[in-house]
Amino acid sequence: MKRIEGGITAPIGFTAAGVACGIKEGKKDLAIIASEEVCIAAGMFTTNRVRAASVELTRRRIRREIIADAVVINSGNANCCTGERGFQDALRMAESCGEALGMQPKRVLVASTGPIGQFLPMDRVEEGIRQAARELRKEGAHDAAEAILTTDTVTKEIAVSEVIAGTEIRIGATAKGAGMISPKLRTMLAFITTDAEIYQPVLSRCLRESVSKSFNRITVDGDRSTNDMVIALANGLAENEMVRRRTGRRLFQGALDFVCSELARMIVKDGEGATRFIAVTVKGARSFGQADKAARAVANSNLVKTALHGGDANWGRIMAALGYSGAGVNRDLVDIYLCGTKVAEGGKPADFDAGRLSEALHGKEIEVVADLNLGKSEQTIWTCDLSAEYVAINK
């Protein structure tokens, strides 16, 4: 596998565009990603019970049709808590895109992101769709990546290639996300394209597995969005031997895992007000479920996140989070490490060089490890620090 240029349009047959239609002032806010051939589709969606119209529509379409030609995305407006009008507006977005591209509207997927509880300015949106349809091109990946952003400070794009049974296939992707980021796919929008020929149930399983290893392992603020989805489209234009359960799946899974993990890390690093990327690992748990509970509790602790923002080796906050996590924890067995330095041993203070550790804690990437010493299971969750800038962005 190797990284390549091109982002979401790196795979054969995909084009994209991003335009400003007036939802956001002076910024791109509408994107289309399209394939010249019909794609099979797979998706995963927010676990929030309050779901946006775009989530309801796209989830239904993927479950019924499992094929798609394009995705139309708007930013600057979530189209959530907008009732029947909001659902009809999502349908209009698909219909307008289908008409502009000469394809069946039912094969157009829809995504939205932005503030909740506002109606879409549909006249502007429909004009934006027509403009984006005219501007679709292979070089449009970055414009599309820019058009889906909200409070993000950078675009998030990646592409890789892999050789399966002697044929090169490509996977491209783009994502957005900086706030309302919490695990269990309450995170962001992500769109993945591939020219691999792959059996649809295998694509679905591969996507589910990759998401569990990446987007479901990140948290910025513990909040749960109403609009989040991950969509994968495969058009088969690489003409490789069909990827099935055994044929080529391991290689495809590895490439998809890499793409999703890189995007997940980009989202955490661009967390609202973030200055540090933090990897929280809990090991020595009795089961994976218990390791997962404990790691998520530490990663979501505001006290831990603010301490690390200040470069403070306050391991007591980590111990407290472990204790209330619901995981099996014996205080007298827990060892805690910060940036490779043991700060607690057997639930008591360890000797360490405070000056050297303080310097490490002011770096861009911080590693937190808690060894429960109860078993062999472990989990890692990626998060970021919590700064005053986060409050300023969200006040």
Catalytic site residues? Answer: 187
Q: Which residues contact 85 (CB under 8 A, 6 or more apart)?
A: 119
Do 31 and 16 contact (CB within 8 A), yes or no? yes
Helix axes 288-300, 315-324, angle to 10 degrees: 130
Ramachandran category for residue 102: left, alpha or beta (phi over 0 → left; psi -120 to 50 → alpha): left
Q: How far apart are CA 154 and CA 390, in angstroms?
A: 16
Residue in 137, 139, 136, 116 with CA at minimum distance from that of residue 128: 136
**What span, in angstroms and rounded, lies between the C-alpha atoms of 87 and 93?**
10
How far apart CA 365 and CA 278 sit, in angstroms, is: 6
What are φ and ψ of residue 252, in 5° steps?
Answer: -65, -45
Q: What gap in Å lies between CA 118 and CA 115, rounded to an integer?
A: 7
Task: State both tokens at 314.
Answer: 């306050």
CA nearest 100: which of 130, 71, 73? 130
